[in-house]
Amino acid sequence: MTNNVKSKAIVLGMLFKVDVANPNAGWTEENITTLKKIEAPDNQRYPYISGQALRRYLRDTLTDIVESDDAGNPLYQFSPEEPGPDPKSPILTAGRPDLYIDDDLFGFMRAVQGETRRRESPLRLSAAFGLFPYTGDRDLGTRSALKVTGNPETGGSIFETEVTNNVFRTTWLLDLDRIGKWFGYETTGNSDTVERFSLLPEADLANEERELHTNLTQLLEIVDGDFHQLFVSKRPDKISKKIWKIWKDSTFPQICKHDWGLEVTQRRKRVKTLLQAIKYLNGGARQARLLIELVPQFVIYARLTKKLPLFLNTLQLTANEGQHCLAEEPITEIIGDYADDIQSLIVGSRHGFGNIGRDDLSQQIKNILGEHKNVAVTPVGKAVDAMVKDIDSAQF
C-alpha cells in the first residue's frame, strides 16, 4: 500500500484500569447508586460505560485542555450550548461544524425554520466494556448530622455505591474523510451555505449545479444581494409566488447537497486535537470520592484506507495471580488479516501492564507489515505524540 493513497479512518483500541470506581452510574435503587451492567451468556453481569458517557468525558476533556495562541485566543472554538424548547429536550448546540470543533466531531440535531438539521458524528465509540464481572462490591457512605445537630444519636443518612475493580475496553472509529467536511444540510448556517455557493467559480460546479447557480444569481438580484431575505418565514413582496416556491422546494434543497470543507491544515488540526485528548482523558461518576484515571494503560492506533473497527473484540485480557495478561496473538492475527489496509500502526503500553514485551511486539508487527510502514511500540504518552505526528503525513 503506497503512502499516497488517501486514509479514510483511524481506529483506536484502548484499555483503561480503575481500582475502586463507579465510572458510569445506573439507576438509583433506594439508597444504592448502581453501576451500569450487562448480562453476558455466561450469566455473569459485567459493568460498562456507555458510549454517550465516554463522548461527554471526551468533550469535557477537550474543553479542559484547549490552548491559546500568542494573542490569548483559544486554538479552537466550542459551540455555545442552550436549553431545548421544553424541559425534557436535550441541550442544543449551534450546529455549525464549520465554526466549532464539537459540532464537527460529535454531530448535532436541531430544528431550523421548520426543518431538521442533523449531522451524524464522524466519531463512533463503543461502550467501554468491563472485562471482569461485577462481584457485588459496594462503597458505604454516610451524611453525618453530628456537626449540625451536636447530637450523636441523630446519626445521618446511609448510602451505598456499587463499585468495581476492573479493566475497561473500548474502540473508537474516526471517519477522516468527514472531519472538517460537511454538506449544506449538515449545518444550521443556511445563509452562509447559500453565500458560499453563490461565490463558487463556474469551473468548480458540477453540470447539474450550473442551473442552480444561475437561478440563485437571478434571485439575489431581486433581493439586492440580501441572503437573509431568502430565509424569512413570510415571502418577500419582491419575489413572486412561483419563484418563491421553486426556491423553497427545489433550488435551496439542491444547493444543500453540495459538500464543503475546511482547509486541510484546519482539518488536520482537529484530528490532532482529538488524539491529544487521549493523553488527558478524564471523567466518571462520583469523582469527589471515587477519582479514577481514564488515560489508557494500553492503546493501539491504526490509520486505514477502509473504515473498520478492527480492535473491537481483539483486546483480550486475563488475570492470573494478581497480574493482568494481554493476549498478543489476537492482535498480531488481525493486523496480519488487514495488513494491506493499514498505513500506520502505533501501540502504547504502560510498563508492566498486560505482561507485554514492547520490543518483541514491535518486531512481530514489523514482520507482518514490513519495514516501509510506520510502526511504533512505546509508552502511552509517546504513543499519543506519535499518533499526532502521524497525522501530518496522512492524506485525507
For 218, other C-beta atoms within 10 Å of its C-beta total 10
Terminal-to-terminal C-alpha distance of the chain: 15
The pLDDT score that the predictor gives to residue 1 is 45
Across the chain, mean pLDDT equals 91
CA distance 217 to 209: 12
Q: Which helix (H) or strand (E) holds 378?
A: strand 374-378
Q: Three cell numbers at 137?
A: 462490591
According to DSSP, residue 223 is labeled T
CA distance 296 to 42: 27
Tens digits of pLDDT across the chain (396 residues): 456 799 999 999 999 999 998 999 888 877 888 999 999 999 999 999 999 999 999 999 999 999 888 888 888 899 998 887 777 778 899 999 999 999 999 999 988 777 889 999 999 999 999 999 999 999 888 766 656 666 656 556 788 899 999 999 999 999 999 999 999 999 999 999 999 999 999 899 999 899 999 999 999 999 999 999 999 889 999 999 999 999 999 999 999 999 999 999 999 999 999 999 999 999 887 778 888 889 999 999 999 999 999 999 999 999 988 889 999 999 999 999 999 999 999 999 999 899 989 999 999 999 999 888 889 999 999 999 999 999 999 999
Q: What is the pLDDT of residues 97-132, one digit of tens each?
A: 999 999 999 999 988 777 889 999 999 999 999 999
Query: Residue 227 to residues 200, 210, 256, 347: CA-CA distances in angstroms?
Result: 15, 19, 15, 50
